[in-house]
Amino acid sequence: MIAAALPAEGRPKWRLSDYNRLSRLLKPFTRAEPLPLRPHDLAALADAAGITVDAMQAELDDQSRWPIFKNGDAWDDYQVQVRWGAESAEVAGTGGDGFPEMVWLSIKRIDKGVMHDWRHLQEIKNMIVGPEHEAVELYPAESRLTDTANQYHLWVLRSPTLRFPFGFDRRVVQDDPAVGNSRQRPRARR
């Protein structure tokens, strides 16, 4: 069995942000099933992770329990898996050890191509979790690097009122495409 979908009653529930319906940049996200995995890739994944095929299958079975959303089937649309809480402690902060509770977003394009558009990642975070939640993308120590696919990860503070102790303290948005020595593409208008 490769990444089989579990019945809906066996899955944790996630409610998309109200912002999901408001985005002018991306199409709205809806509930989806995992993208299919070719059977011969299971052994390669297990080998890359340094675990047995059975252990990899168990990880894939666990991953398939968590909500997955996508916003279309075109090559440049996205699939996002959402995990949170104690059952996903290896990837999402649980609020223990003084860290706030986090939500983990695992993001990839439908065509599994390379992407790293900051505005798209910001919009996905807004649509899935909410516009007033802060998120980070981690560039880890090499000793815990995970790089097996064109897949991107955001860790989002579960509380919309918490702020990271770093970053800018106010909103500054430039809509003019060229000011001084900078260049910016126009933003989608609401």
Residue 165 lies in a domain: no
Residue 94 falls inside a structural domain: yes
Q: What DSSP letter does each residue of 112-144 carry, written as one string?
A: ------HHHHHHHHHHHT-TT--EE-----GGG
pTM of the prediction?
0.81
pLDDT of residue 75: 81
pLDDT band at 128 (very low <50, low <70, confident <90, very high): very high
Residue 56 pLDDT: 85
Would you say residue 180 lies in a domain? Answer: no
Query: DSSP label at 47?
Result: H
Give the residue, 40 or 50, on which the prediction is more confident: 50
Which two three-digit tokens encode residue 104? 């983990």
- For the cut 50, the answer to whether the pLDDT of residue 7 exceeds it is no
What pLDDT, in 10s, does the model give residues 8-44? 556 678 999 999 999 989 999 999 987 667 777 888 8
Q: Give the tokens for residue 158.
A: 């579960």
DSSP alpha helix (H) spans, the chain: 41-49, 53-63, 118-128
Does 89 fall in a domain?
yes
For the chain, give the mean pLDDT: 83
Q: Does residue 31 sit within a domain?
A: yes
DSSP reduced 3-state for 185: coil
3-state secondary structure of 19: helix
Judge whether 147 and 138 are in contact, CB under 8 Å. no
Return the higher-pLDDT residue of 63 and 53: 53
> Over pLDDT 70: what percentage of the chain?
82
Average pLDDT over residues 154-166: 94
**Do the domain assignments include residue 185?**
no
Q: According to the model, what pLDDT value does residue 139 have?
A: 92
Which structural domain, as residue segments, surrounds residue 81? 8-157
Rounded to whole angstroms, the Cα distance separating 19 from 13 reads 18
Is 60 exceeded by the pLDDT of residue 122? yes
Region 63-77 average pLDDT = 87
Answer whether 100's CB lies under 8 Å from 158's CB: yes
Domain-embedded: residue 167? no
User: What's residue 136's pLDDT?
Assistant: 95
Three-state SS at 62: helix
Say how many domains are in the chain: 1
- What integer pLDDT is reported at residue 176 of this predicted model? 67
